[in-house]
Structure 1
């Protein structure tokens, strides 16, 4: 039989990443004022057509970058070439205002919701183009907060431009070989230039080696470098704006024009389209960004933004996988061709579990997005600013932890076809795995969260918000969710115990998962209460989502883990060591 003969599977599609999304339209109805909602929804409905056509066409043209370090005569050229698709996706991102919307602030604090909604829709088809866009966003914010007048005049407008001909993208250089996430061991040294100050600010030359530099094809980067002594650790670091090429405003294919040399491109398991490199800085010109010796403080706004981008990337990748699995179930027949997978309760139940994770992550992530918008526009209350300190590590870490597992279930829902590269679930899983590492692993984020919680007032602000949501549930809804409401209240009480000083050495990760489960539940509860009160058409589903997430989404497991750690004492750490490295009870 010829392949064209016999059974032909009906193709599946994902043509409406906004209109067919089971979560986003309802969420935006709650978050946005009426006029803003009408304008933003119109833009998203237009944008989903662009995604289904021109953006996916560019995505197919995206291939891995390549590096030519030397020409035929042995001259160092470090010529980095990216694909037509990558360059096209970058141009589309600029035109669509992925960065610009948040700084144009047409809708004030709601502009962030608009921008991240577009990213949620496109990220799975964007081939990780939002990696450089996230760092561009962070760089723009750092200049807005700490930049010199010349930086704000010359560089900032390009970072937030919608014109691809003049728009800049930015990288972020923190990681070095000695410390990884521990920047206190940064080796890169910043030395003041002896000549007069540059037009962009105080000029320094940087000498060092940056181990991970994503978006090496960018125009500028923000980098940490040492202006103090090694013994000062992270307190001796300053933040710098680094042009990859000089003069800054003239295009060039080679970074070597600012004494920045590409040692090699990283050989990664995913994010293949992103030009991630090891860079040698040998007297690269850079400009102080913010006060000297305040590099960690100045990099925090960048991390807040890139962590929210990371959470959106995790949720967006899962959105696409669910859309593929759902569409496939609508065309794939089983039982001798008599029944579709979408008509099979057992199969739909599996998809429902993945869909519940997606719903939870979207609500959690947009909780962080909303606080980010308020913080930037000066409309956040003192309590909200304190709570925002917790939300970026929670949203980033929890979304990364949960999304990939749910993506794997979507892959399995297609059977053998799910394992094929053509449907792109494999790429999305590989790309999604980086979110578990980029900007901090769960352990790093758990320790970061612990430091934030130990700041006076932060945990109280969180508890006030949480108890406010629990007590504001309408009476008509409270009876319907009584068991889940009680479970969530009990978990909240245990959270205070988990973070009670002195904190057990093993508690940060377990407590991180507990507060993440609680926070996600609270955002689902907030939406269910709104949906119930407004008699929204999806109110029954919103209530069921809250109930299922509390009962089946992992809250009980997180509570049990905290209790287990608190009850085990130090002996558990010794047993952990033996399990990993071998040992016997007598030795312990």
Structure 2
């Protein structure tokens, strides 16, 4: 019972919580993030990158956050479902109109030159992307992921590219003429994950087209889920006609506009048929398009397109899903915990109730292990100089068995991490929303509802759970002669106690030894149920071990301490964008 009398002028205010949330610097004030950087970065790079992160975080935590908050307002998200097909003179232009804040944020993030080797090392690129993902703006960070995949694919064949394709690489990577945006268009109406079933055609045409280009490949057909539609260049899958590999998928890079035509709003012989209305990532334009003879440049051998797309482009996207969700979970967990310490009920902070204490510990542990796991997996990618193997056939050509096994672990880790983090994130965010009570579902109070919707998209992007679990199972059967399931578990979980490894090895080996996951019988159904459970358990153990190896001893978050600290700051930060 409260002994307080009624007061029609209720003095309650959220101002202290908003003050702390808005003044928190994503890197300078996050000891856990700093510990991850210190643990994984090479000593000779640490001081330089630490200073760069501090400077960038001053921008990301305030200016970029303010731009993202405005860009993701409902009325601005709606814009990305609208398209102007024709101008006033009946010219087909297919113009996508986005809010100015999104375009400003996109330009400033791409101007960081993340993929430019003259400006960023592999480690500085990674930790800056991890920082940027905390603003939760998929309209910009999805193109970052897609551009990363396009750059890595083009770099693999850098010395063999046609001049036009090489120029595209320099635009995307080196910023020649200003840093450009990449995307990847793979899915068709009949399905996304079944890439071999693609039907878009690539035809080599000697005759000069209406665009003035001759002796080139041209694409014909429809792509059905084309995200980052505002991009300058897309990696596209298609089946080449009139060649020996005509039933196999090839990879092409396709300009959105041919040189000189962007300003004229003349697209490269394709139409944007409609923009999709999605559950999440609504500020990201996603379209259905039809190619009507678009000029395209092959990337790599025509018969290797499928392996290159899956092994490089999609694998990088899966890495981005995990690191993006892990970074976002640090922010979500932090803001939820601080609110629980600020908010009182029945005269005490909500954070002091035993049920809430357990929930705080749960989401905090899950967020920390997700981040630690993301750093550990990405460190393996950097170990191999950011070069991914296209497929199992290419992997088996590596003579050094130790290296071959380590590369195989990375391939499987990328898929496992994507499956598990994308499965964990919606549940963690949903629980964090509950910390706010009714305010947790108010989109003008906090961005968790939008982040929750976005997290559901991540589970489907670049291969849903079932597809990846089946792929992992198939991969192990293909390498069984030189890498047993038992040895994989022992190598992957080095440092974990032997009892845990022994139990997991027995279960894992039983699943992998089952000949197929595609037969509809009781035994296979049971194996599939176990595989879903064990895959999560396996990667959670890997994440927990990464967290143990970090040996983090920092102070826990405390609202009252941060409030005092921020109020002592000599000046207010400029956090708003000039509109």
* TM-score bracket for this pair, using the shorter chain length: 0.7 to 0.9
CA contact (8 A) 2:485 2:509 kept: no
Gaps of 5+ in 1: 474-481, 542-588
In the alignment, which of 336, 342, 345 is matched to residue 334 of structure 1? Answer: 345
Deviates more, 1:425-434 or 1:505-514: 505-514
CA contact (8 A) 1:80 1:253 kept: no
Give the distance between the partners of 2:182 and 2:375, measured in 1 at CA. Answer: 24
Q: CA deviation at 1:189?
A: 0.7
Question: For 1:104-143, what per-residue CA distance to the aligned partner results, in whole angstroms no more than 9, with x for missing partners?
Answer: 5864xxx2x4323222332242420111111111001111
With the length of structure 1 as denominator, give the TM-score of the two structures: 0.80
| Residue in 2 that maps onto 1:115 | 125
SS at match of 2:478: coil
CA contact (8 A) 1:16 1:48 kept: yes
Give the distance between the partners of 2:264 and 2:331, measured in 1 at CA. Answer: 34
SS at match of 1:11: helix
| Residue in 2 that maps onto 1:545 | none
| Residue in 2 that maps onto 1:44 | 53
SS at match of 1:439: coil
Give the distance between the partners of 1:230 and 1:429, measured in 2 at CA. Answer: 46
Residue 236 to residue 509, structure 1, CA distance change in 2 (3 Å): farther
| Residue in 2 that maps onto 1:259 | 269
Deviates more, 1:488-497 or 1:424-433: 488-497
| Residue in 2 that maps onto 1:431 | 454
2:17 matches 1:11: yes
| Residue in 1 that maps onto 2:83 | 67
Question: For 1:415-447, what per-residue CA distance to the aligned partner results, in whole angstroms no more than 9, with x for missing partners?
Answer: 111111020000101111110111011011111
Give the distance between the partners of 1:341 and 1:540, measured in 2 at CA. Answer: 16
Give the distance between the partners of 2:405 and 2:119, measured in 1 at CA. Answer: 23
| Residue in 1 that maps onto 2:228 | 215
Give the distance between the partners of 2:68 and 2:148, measured in 1 at CA. Answer: 22
Give the distance between the partners of 1:442 and 1:105, measured in 2 at CA. Answer: 36
Give the distance between the partners of 1:74 and 1:200, measured in 2 at CA. Answer: 24
| Residue in 2 that maps onto 1:407 | 429
| Residue in 2 that maps onto 1:173 | 185
| Residue in 2 that maps onto 1:286 | 296
Question: For 1:486-544, what per-residue CA distance to the aligned partner results, in whole angstroms no more than 9, with x for missing partners?
Answer: 2343113321111114245433564254234223313432542463xxxx635999xxx
| Residue in 2 that maps onto 1:567 | none
Give the distance between the partners of 1:319 and 1:455, measured in 2 at CA. Answer: 37
Question: For 1:432-474, what per-residue CA distance to the aligned partner results, in whole angstroms no more than 9, with x for missing partners?
Answer: 111011101101111121222223259837754642576656x
Q: CA deviation at 1:266?
A: 0.5
CA contact (8 A) 2:225 2:288 kept: yes
Q: CA deviation at 1:177?
A: 0.7
| Residue in 2 that maps onto 1:28 | 37
CA contact (8 A) 2:369 2:547 kept: no
CA contact (8 A) 2:245 2:302 kept: no
In the alignment, which of 322, 327, 337 is matched to residue 311 of structure 1? Answer: 322
Give the distance between the partners of 1:139 and 1:84, measured in 2 at CA. Answer: 26
Give the distance between the partners of 2:206 and 2:436, measured in 1 at CA. Answer: 63
CA contact (8 A) 2:67 2:101 kept: yes
Q: Which structure 1 residue ranges, 4+ long, deviate > 6 Å from structure 2? A: 1-4, 196-202, 229-233
SS at match of 1:226: strand
2:486 matches 1:486: no
Deviates more, 1:220-229 or 1:408-417: 220-229
| Residue in 1 that maps onto 2:96 | 80
Computed over aligned residues only, the root mean square deviation of the Cα atoms, in angstroms, reads 3.3
Residue 99 to residue 61, structure 1, CA distance change in 2 (3 Å): farther
2:153 matches 1:142: yes
Give the distance between the partners of 1:116 and 1:445, measured in 2 at CA. Answer: 24
Give the distance between the partners of 1:39 and 1:402, measured in 2 at CA. Answer: 34
In the alignment, which of 195, 198, 208 is matched to residue 186 of structure 1? Answer: 198
Residue 388 to residue 199, structure 1, CA distance change in 2 (3 Å): farther
SS at match of 2:267: helix
Give the distance between the partners of 2:69 and 2:157, measured in 1 at CA. Answer: 39
Residue 538 to residue 57, structure 1, CA distance change in 2 (3 Å): closer
Q: CA deviation at 1:73?
A: 4.7
Give the distance between the partners of 2:386 and 2:330, measured in 1 at CA. Answer: 29
Give the distance between the partners of 1:296 and 1:115, measured in 2 at CA. Answer: 27
With the length of structure 2 as denominator, give the TM-score of the two structures: 0.81
Deviates more, 1:88-97 or 1:352-361: 88-97
SS at match of 1:460: coil
